[in-house]
Amino acid sequence: MKEKKVIDYTRTYRRIEADKKKCILYIVILLLLGFLLMWTQIDDLTRWILFYKRTPKENKCQSL
């Protein structure tokens, strides 16, 4: 007779929980990198706008 295969649900549940935690960690890291990239781009853009406003009109063409 064939023996029935016994599934260890606690191991399966632990693996699912570990995968879920890893997925959440990856999402948090990607969000932090996205915010960092956005923040640096906005910072560079505002710095360029402020520099552009402060330069005299005759020097604007030279600064580009």
Q: What is the pLDDT of residues 1-55, one digit of tens each?
A: 567 777 777 777 888 888 999 999 999 999 999 888 888 887 777 777 777 766 5
Question: What is the DSSP secondary-structure string of 1-64?
Answer: -PPPPPP-HHHHHHHHHHHHHHHHHHHHHHHHHHHHHHHHHHHHHHHHHHHHHHS-GGGHHHH-
Tell me, what's the pLDDT at 1? Answer: 56
pTM for this prediction? 0.51
Tell me, what's the pLDDT at 27? Answer: 97
pLDDT band at 59 (very low <50, low <70, confident <90, very high): low
